[in-house]
Amino acid sequence: MADTPFDRFIDFVECKQQHTALSGKYNTLQNKRDALEAEITERQKVLDEEHSEVEALKREVHLVELEGKSLRDREQEIRRRLPQVTNQKEYIALTKEVDEIERVEDTNENRLLSLFETAEQREVELSKHTSTFKACLNEQTKQHSELIMQCDRVQKEIVEKQETCVALEKLVEAEQLSEYKRMAATLDSPVVLVDADHCLACRFRVANKDLVQLRRQILVQCKNCYRMLYQRKK
């Protein structure tokens, strides 16, 4: 139990530090969650686009097939009319038309074949990509649920830590608290631990005479970053 003003102040300071660390942890988790959601959305979008392309190709195949059928019908109709033709001029015109239709049919069939192959190929690719996406989505959904749970856990810890900080703040001497708040307005972690004779925030070496003060549990100011330094009793 903290029994000196120094201990009470440092308990409060460390509670604040833990609160800041938890907030940082929460932000990191939240960023990971956002990134994961964006990734899933993006993958879904790519797959949807691929799906639309395959559908468009299939529609095109269908249209070309219809065009082919109408060409065949027209050709048959002309061929039926040919024996009934009475003059040479009409006969030539009709056979010319048949030739033209056959030429178009030829082009149409080549186009259909190529479209059909492309559509088939794209459909196979889409099916592969869909399987990969589903497997990946399962994994990502698990990760996402885990991140949500972690976020909730940390959020709860933050609330609890905040309550502890408020309780500890009441035990800090008024003058020390207002000094802390004044510094906290411009500095993150205005009071930091000395780690192996160095300021934990800026790694500046603490002078020997200050180290003596610190051992007596007196706060000293870092000559480099102006934060207050402290040392816990070993």
Binding site for Zn ion (CB under 5 A): 199, 201-202, 204, 222, 224-225
Shortest distance in whole angstroms from residue 213 CB to Zn ion: 15
Shortest distance in whole angstroms from residue 126 CB to Zn ion: 59
Closer of 94 and 225 to Zn ion (Cβ): 225
Shortest distance in whole angstroms from residue 135 CB to Zn ion: 50
Closer of 13 and 64 to Zn ion (Cβ): 13
The residue with tokens 């003003």 is: 5
Closer of 150 and 224 to Zn ion (Cβ): 224
Task: Give CA angle at 155 (154, 159), nearest 5°.
Answer: 115
Rounded to the nearest 10 degrees, what angle do helices 88-169 and 5-81 cross at?
A: 170
C-alpha–C-alpha distance, residues 148 and 169, integer Å: 31
Closer of 122 and 205 to Zn ion (Cβ): 205
Shortest distance in whole angstroms from residue 212 CB to Zn ion: 18
3-state secondary structure of 220: strand
Of the candidates 16, 10, 14, the one whose C-alpha atom is nearest the C-alpha of residue 217 is 10
Beta bridge partners of 220: 229
